Each structure stands twice: as C-alpha cells, then as structure tokens.
Amino acid sequence: MKPHRHANNKTESGSQPCEISFDRSDEKKLLINLAGSWTLKCKRPSADVVKKEITAGGATGIAFNTTGITEWDSGLLIFLGRVIGLFLKNGITVDKTGLPNGAGKLMDLAAAVPEKKGARKKSQKESFLFRVGSESVAFVRSSGDVLTFVGEASTAFIKFLTGKARFRRSDLTRIIQDCGIEALPIVSLISLLVGLILAFVGAVQLTMFGAEIYVANLVGIAMVRVMAAVMTGIIMAGRTGAAFAAQLGTMQVNEEIDAFKTMGISPMEFLVLPRILGLTLMMPLLCLYADLMGILGGFIVGVGMLDLNMVEYYNQTKAAVPLSNLWIGLFQSIVFGILIAVAGCLRGMQCGRSASAVGDATTSAVVTGIISIIVATAVITVITNVLGI
C-alpha cells in the first residue's frame, strides 16, 4: 500500500514538516533520506541542497530512501522533478527504486512522451412557436434570477473593496483597453454627428428669431446633460455589452464556467467582476470625451454655417452649461456602465448550452442594456427635476 497521500483532510493540517538528510556511507552513491510530509502545503527544501551535497561528496549517483514519508502529493513530485532534472544533465545516475511506489511510476510516466490526434462538432434547433412560448415562461422566471445575479455581483464587489476578490489583474487591464481606448473611434464619430445634428435642427428654428448664438446653449446643455451619456451608453451596449454576453455565453457552452465552479473559483469574481469594473470605470471617461466631441460638432455648425465668432461661441457655451450638468451627465454614464455590464454578464451567465444560445444571449444583452438605459434616463431626469438641479 502507498502512504496516505491525501492527508490534506483537515485533521492532519498540523503534521510534521518535510525533512531531508543525506547518507554518504557509500562513496559512489549519495543516499537521500526523505521523511515527514511532502505536500504542496508545506515548505519544501530547494534542490540546491542536494546539489551542494553532491558537489561536496563527489558521488556519481543518487538514490532515495523514503520510508519516513507520512504523506505526499505533487509537492514531492516537484522536488523530485528538480533533483532528477539537475542530475540527469550532469550524467549522474538516479536510482528511483527507493521512491514511493506511485511517485516512481509517475516520474517515469512524465518522462515518456507519445503524440496523437482527434476532432469533434455539435449543433441544435427548435421550432419558432416553442421558442416564443418558452421565452415567455423563461422571462417570468428570470426576474428571480436577475435579483440573485445582482446580489451575487454586489457580494463580489464588496469582496473586491475589501481586497479579497480573486481575478486576474491582466483581465481587468484587457477589458479596460477593450471598452475604453478601442471604443474611442466610434464614440468620436457618433457624438460629433449628434452635436452636428442638434446644431442643425436648432439653427433652423433659432435663425428665425435672430438668436443663432443660442445654438451653443442648445448643443452644450443637451450634450453635457444627457445626450453624451445616452449615446455612449447605447454604443457601449451594442459593442461591449454584446461582447460580454458572447464571451461568457461561449464559456458556458464549453463548460468553462462549470470548470471554474468545480475548482472552487467563483465565476462571479473571476469573470463578471472585472467586466463590470472595467466598463464602469471607462464609461465616465468616454462620456466626458463624447461631451467634447458633441460640442465640437455644434461648434463646426455654428462657426462654419451660421458665421458665429469662435471666441463668442466658446464663451457662450461656457456660460450656458452649469457644472452641475456635467456631474449629472457623468453620474448617468456611471449608472449606464453598471447597467450595461450587468445586463451583458447576466445574459452571458444565463446562456444555455448550445451555439445558438450564445446568439440569443447576445441579442438579449443588447435589448436589456438599451431598455435599462432609457428607463434609467427617465428616472434620473424625473429625480433631478424634482430636486430642482
């Protein structure tokens, strides 16, 4: 029988540490005595100890005596791997007979390398009516799921605040880049055009009263207070929200999410949290950028078409837009960031196990994202009105 390898079952957590000693009674062969607990949990000696011993003694071979080992796992294998790797290069013979039965076999198995091939595929379909029916039923059921998801996401966020959330920082950086810098071109284009359109529409009316200069007010306030936030929100819902749903949905299909769960790694922390954080951090920056681009659009119309003076237009905009509007706009964009990311991740995590389910999840994420943006805008507008801001 092998030693009790899997003694990592709590009771033995205080077991004795691993010990190493050397027996040089045989000139040629260094006998390495290993004893105690050789697991990943314990602090293991480095292979250099053995190297020093062998350079000092001048032995040409090593052997092991492991009768004193009480438990072992990959911790022993990593040590053996290093020792064996160290000496095979120098032509020193390694005698594996003294190793625990399984460990010796594993080291041999690791050294034998074969090489082969294989392949596979899958897909599925359902009737339209069946889909409509099941979607409706699912919609009613899903409200509960939404609450659970939001609860879990909040828990993960609290863990993040206390520094206990587990995720790869590199994932967060990649997501920030993905939904920040890489969204700039489309945000620029859309907000510039929205600014132009607002200015055009306004100019037609305002010239009738000879009040062209108020185009600056119209564009400035509209962009800064709502339009920039709403437009970036809608762009990001279509761009990033959809991407989140597709990414997580695909991981669901490939059982990757299951694999996280069974390894005790929370997909909520590992996958959802960095996405929500990344988008929520980037949204206000994009919104600020969209503010500027929108005002630039108005400026182009004002100066180019209405023959307004540049400085005058600039001063008019500055005077017309109170700082509080900027804060309201930025606040909205943060709210939208959270809503879009939550909608995207929620739909992705709810995704079924077929390829077409990923498509449904993506569509659903965009729809949910845009609807929640519009509803949130309405709510925020009413609240600010009531508060008189």
Interaction site with other proteins (CB under 8 A) = 2, 5-6, 8, 10, 40-41, 73-74, 77-78, 81-82, 101-103, 105-106, 109-120, 166, 250-251, 254-256, 258-265
* Least spacing, CB of residue 259 vs other proteins, in Å: 5
* Least spacing, CB of residue 52 vs other proteins, in Å: 19
Q: Toward other proteins, which CB reaches closer, 8 or 384? A: 8
Q: Toward other proteins, which CB reaches closer, 60 or 74? A: 74
Q: How far is CA 339 from CA 66, 159, 233, 238, 280, in A?
A: 59, 20, 9, 13, 9
Distance CA 149, CA 345 (A): 9
* Least spacing, CB of residue 282 vs other proteins, in Å: 20
DSSP assigned state of 31: E
Q: Toward other proteins, which CB reaches closer, 58 or 85? A: 85
Q: Toward other proteins, which CB reaches closer, 109 or 201? A: 109
Q: Toward other proteins, which CB reaches closer, 110 or 378? A: 110
Structure-token pair, residue 308: 């307004």
Contact 268/367 with Cβ under 8 angstroms?
no
* Least spacing, CB of residue 287 vs other proteins, in Å: 29
DSSP assigned state of 306: S
In 238-306, where does DSSP find H-type helix? Answer: 242-253, 256-262, 267, 273-304
Question: Cβ neighbours of residue 32 under 8 Å, at least 6 residues apart?
Answer: 20, 21, 22, 23, 50, 62, 63, 64, 65, 83
* Least spacing, CB of residue 250 vs other proteins, in Å: 8
Contact 175/275 with Cβ under 8 angstroms?
yes
Q: Toward other proteins, which CB reaches closer, 287 or 361? A: 361
Structure-token pair, residue 156: 């993960």
Q: Toward other proteins, which CB reaches closer, 84 or 228? A: 84
Distance CA 228, CA 355 (A): 35
Q: Toward other proteins, which CB reaches closer, 19 or 256? A: 256
**Helix axis angle, 355-387 relative to 228-236, nearest 10°?**
170
Distance CA 282, CA 309 (A): 34
* Least spacing, CB of residue 183 vs other proteins, in Å: 20
Task: Using CA atoms of 140, 376, 179, 284 in order, give the dihedral in degrees to the nearest 10.
Answer: -160
Q: Toward other proteins, which CB reaches closer, 111 or 208? A: 111
* Least spacing, CB of residue 253 vs other proteins, in Å: 8
* Least spacing, CB of residue 263 vs other proteins, in Å: 5
Q: Toward other proteins, which CB reaches closer, 232 or 250? A: 250
* Least spacing, CB of residue 84 vs other proteins, in Å: 11
* Least spacing, CB of residue 337 vs other proteins, in Å: 23
Long-range contacts, stretch 382-389, CB < 8 angstroms, 24+ apart: 384/328, 389/324, 389/328
Residue 208's CB is within 10 A of a number of other CB atoms, namely: 8
**Pairing between strand 61-72 and 93-95?**
parallel
Distance CA 130, CA 219 (A): 48
Q: Which residues pair with 94 in a beta bridge?
A: 62
Structure-token pair, residue 190: 């859309």
Contact 149/249 with Cβ under 8 angstroms?
no
Distance CA 268, CA 254 (A): 17
* Least spacing, CB of residue 155 vs other proteins, in Å: 13
Q: Toward other proteins, which CB reaches closer, 118 or 144? A: 118
